[in-house]
Amino acid sequence: MTKIKLVLVDDHRIFRDGIKSLLSDVEFIDIIGEASCGLELLEMLKSQQTDVIMVDITMPGISGIDVCRQISELYPDVRIMILSMHTNEEFVINAIKAGAKAYLPKDTSKEELLEAIEIIYNGGEYYSKSVSDNFMKNYIRNYKTDHDLMENKSLTQREIEILKNASIGLSNKEIADKLFISTKTVDCHKNNIMQKLKLKNTAEMVLYAVKNKIIEV
């Protein structure tokens, strides 16, 4: 039987020991290494091949999200599982964007943990029911909205960002600071948006965003 090679990454030794103990009797899993931080993990991967990495989000130095992003770029075949106490929407979405294939809370059951490992090892994705029901629906809805704006309205991804931020009331300067661009560039994007959507001013832009569920009120 082919064993799934697994690496544990968490800054709490007692948690890593707990996971090792939990999985010690699982025949198809081989825990080949562990790390206490992102830098240690990245160094390990230079000489150690693995199939699945189980990583926490909050760690010293590089966060689990940043580690996930780097590994996805450097080792695209490695499947990453986030196991974290943080289950709010922002963390889940950022993890998915960074390349995580599974997201589970730390109080998950052994059965669910094993199911998630098998699913992502075989090329799938797994998001615990406790974090997925609302968050994934919102993420998918937002993705579809963005896709529609790009496909049907010819908006760029940057213009969509400008539209969303302007519609929630941010000034040009606030948008510029948030997106690390100039206020002149923001103004240029807003003009392009209004031309493409046939809008006359910012007020109409906000109304358009509300009607099309680009933002929630």
Let me know whether 59 and 111 are in one domain. Answer: yes
Residue 193 lies in a domain: yes
* pLDDT for residue 215: 76
Let me know whether 147 and 89 are in one domain. Answer: no
* pLDDT for residue 17: 95
Residue 216 lies in a domain: no
Q: What mean pLDDT is reported for the chain? A: 87
Let me know whether 11 and 91 are in one domain. Answer: yes
Please give the residue range of the domain that contains residue 166: 143-211
Let me know whether 157 and 121 are in one domain. Answer: no
Residue 158 lies in a domain: yes
Q: DSSP of 149-178, one letter per residue? A: HHHHS---HHHHHHHHHHHTT--HHHHHHH
Interval 47-56: pLDDT, tens: 999 999 999 9
